[in-house]
Chain A
């Protein structure tokens, strides 16, 4: 029962992190910032959702499988974000700076 409630709370938290990630992707000023929003906030969201689902899962095997998706996604996203940021830097895109007041 407690695991069900904790799982539900984790799933809702994950949805909020997803929302924050999407908001950042749409609102941030340059490609590096957007990459940061996409690859960090969304992955925390996914981790929370998967952990919540695993807490509600019927069998231990299913819970393990759900949780094991997360490390894979983390490694994949880290590589992609490095590759895109490196490419943006090579193409000479300047990081955004706040204008002096």
Chain B
């Protein structure tokens, strides 16, 4: 079952890589922020899977920190950083 956990972690990593690659270029600030949040939620999943796969339970704490940081980043973006938007791109 540990092999399953590492395989799913690899799948999630590929998922994340494709999302970052597809959005890294020309879309709006909000989309790039959403991919950063995707990094947060997928990262928590990957870290939890890895903590079981390699037996390092400390990785769950890292996952908790990542979840909190993603939340703080998202709110800081919405409150402070996102100030303008071109009329025609969503």
Contact = CB atoms under 8 A, between A and B. Distances in A.
Given A31-B28, A46-B45, A66-B60, A22 B18 contact: yes
Interface string B54-84: 0001001001100110110011011100101
Which bucket holds chain A's interface residue count? Answer: 35 or more
Contacts, number: 131
A25 B34 contact: yes
Contact of B48 (A18, A35, A53, A93): A53
B25 to A, nearest CB: 12
Interface of B: 1, 4-5, 8, 11-12, 15-16, 18-19, 22-23, 28, 30-31, 33-35, 37-38, 41-42, 44-45, 48-49, 52, 57, 60, 63-64, 67-68, 70-71, 74-75, 77-79, 82, 84-85, 90
Contact of B71 (A34, A57, A76): A76
A86 B77 CA distance: 12
A18 B90 contact: no
